[in-house]
Amino acid sequence: MARRHDPERRQRIIDAAIRVVGQKGIAGLSHRSVAAAADVPLGSTTYHFTTLDELMVAALRQANEGFAKVIAARGGLEDPRTDLAGELAGWMGEWLAGDRTGVELEYELYLAALRRPALRPVADEWARDLAERLSRRTDPVTARALVALMDGICLQVLLTDAEYDEGFAREVLGRMIPRSAEK
C-alpha cells in the first residue's frame, strides 16, 4: 500500500493535543486520545512526538503564540509615547476577553511545567521574551517584575472566575514602572 502524503499531519496532531487538554485537562492527554481527536493512526502521534512531553512542548509553544500575536497586533510597546501600564493592561484585557478556554489551556500547559521539567524551557522562553520586549521601555528588573505581576493578575482572574478589571491592572502596573520609563 502506498504511503499517504500528509504534510499537515504534525500540525493537526498539535491542534488535537490542544483540544484534548482544553476538554479533558492534562490528565486526559495521551497519544491515543490525541490520535483519535486528530483522526490519525496512533503510530502517527508517536512518529511525530516520541513522548507526551514532546507533544506538550509543541502545544505550549503554539499556545504561547496566541499572547505574542496580541502583543504584536497592538504594537503600542514600540512607541515610547504610549502609556506602558495602559498598554499592558490592554493586552491582558484583550487576551482575557470573551471565551477564556484558550487562556485557561495556555496556563494549564504553562503550570504543567511544575511537574514536567521538559516544559520548563518553553515556559521560561515566554517569560524571557516578554521581559525582553518590556526592557525596551524600562530596566530589566522592572520588566521581569511586570511579567510576574501580569501572570499573577491573569491567574487570579482565571482561578476566581472574576471579571478582569483593566483599571485596577493599569493602576498596579503603573505603580511598578519608574517615572523615567513613562516619558
The answer to whether 137 and 84 have CB atoms below 8 angstroms apart is yes
The alpha helices in 75-165, defined as continuous H runs, are 84-96, 101-112, 120-134, 140-160
Mean per-residue pLDDT for 17-33? 91
Is 159 among the domain residues? yes
Give CA–CA dist 40/22, Å, rounded: 19
Residues 35 and 115 placed together within one structural domain of the fold: no
Chain segment 40-81, per-residue pLDDT in tens: 999 999 999 999 999 999 988 887 776 677 777 777 777 888
Is 37 among the domain residues? yes
Residues 27 and 102 placed together within one structural domain of the fold: no
Is 68 among the domain residues? yes
Distance from chain centroid for Cα 140? 21
Residues 82 and 37 placed together within one structural domain of the fold: no
Handedness of CA 124, 126, 132, 137 (dihedral sign): negative
**Domain hosting residue 167, numbered range:** 64-177
Is 57 among the domain residues? no
Residues 123 and 154 placed together within one structural domain of the fold: yes
Chain segment 118-148, per-residue pLDDT in tens: 889 988 888 898 899 899 889 999 999 999 9
Give CA–CA dist 9/48, Å, rounded: 9
Residues 97 and 169 placed together within one structural domain of the fold: yes
pLDDT at 5: 67
Those residues with Cβ within 8 angstroms of residue 168's Cβ, 6 or more apart along the chain or in another chain: none
Is 1 among the domain residues? no
Is 58 among the domain residues? no
Mean pLDDT score of the chain: 87
CATH code, 72: 1.10.357.10
Residues 102 and 169 placed together within one structural domain of the fold: yes
Q: Does this model's pTM top 0.85?
A: no
Is 108 among the domain residues? yes
Residues 112 and 154 placed together within one structural domain of the fold: yes
Q: Which of 10-24, 99-113, 125-139, 142-156 has the lowest mean pLDDT?
A: 99-113
The domain tally of the chain equals 2
Residues 78 and 147 placed together within one structural domain of the fold: yes
Count of Cβ atoms closer than 10 Å to residue 57 Cβ: 22
Residues 38 and 124 placed together within one structural domain of the fold: no
Residues 46 and 94 placed together within one structural domain of the fold: no
CATH code, 24: 1.10.10.60
Give CA–CA dist 69/76, Å, rounded: 13
Query: Is residue 10 within a helix (H) or strand (E), and if so which, with residue range?
Result: helix 9-24
Is 20 among the domain residues? yes
The answer to whether 50 and 134 have CB atoms below 8 angstroms apart is no
pLDDT at 1: 44
Residues 107 and 132 placed together within one structural domain of the fold: yes
Residues 132 and 173 placed together within one structural domain of the fold: yes
